[in-house]
Amino acid sequence: MKIASVIGTRPQVIKLLPIYTELAVRNIEHVVIDTGQHFDPELSTDLYIDLGLPLPTYQLSLDSPPDRSSSIQIAQMITTIKYALEVEKPDKVIVYGDTNSTLAASLVCAKEGFNFAHIEAGLRSRDQTMPEEINRILVDNLAHTNFAPTLTADNNLRNEGLQEKSFFVGDIMLDTFLILRSRIDQAKSEIENLPSRFYLLTLHRPSNVDDLNRLQYILGKLNNLGEKIVFSVHPRTKNNLHMNLQYYENILAIPPQPYLVFSSLMRNCLGLFTDSGGLQKEAYFHGTPTLTIRNSTEWPETLSGYTNILDFNLESLNIFTEKCAAGKFNVNLENFGSGIARMRIIDFLTNS
Strand 116-119 and strand 145-148: the pairing is parallel
CA atoms of 97 and 121, how far apart (whole Å): 7
Which of 30, 38, 118, 204 is the catalytic position?
204
Beta carbons of 182 and 145 less than 8 angstroms apart:
no
CA atoms of 328 and 323, how far apart (whole Å): 9
204 flagged as catalytic:
yes
Provide CB contacts within 8 A for 122, sequence distance 6+. Answer: 136, 140, 146, 148, 149, 150, 152, 153, 154, 155, 156, 157, 166
Which residues on adjacent β-strands are paired with residue 95? Answer: 6, 118
Neighbours of 82 (CB within 10 A): 18
Beta carbons of 269 and 252 less than 8 angstroms apart:
no
Q: Which residues are catalytic, by number?
A: 204
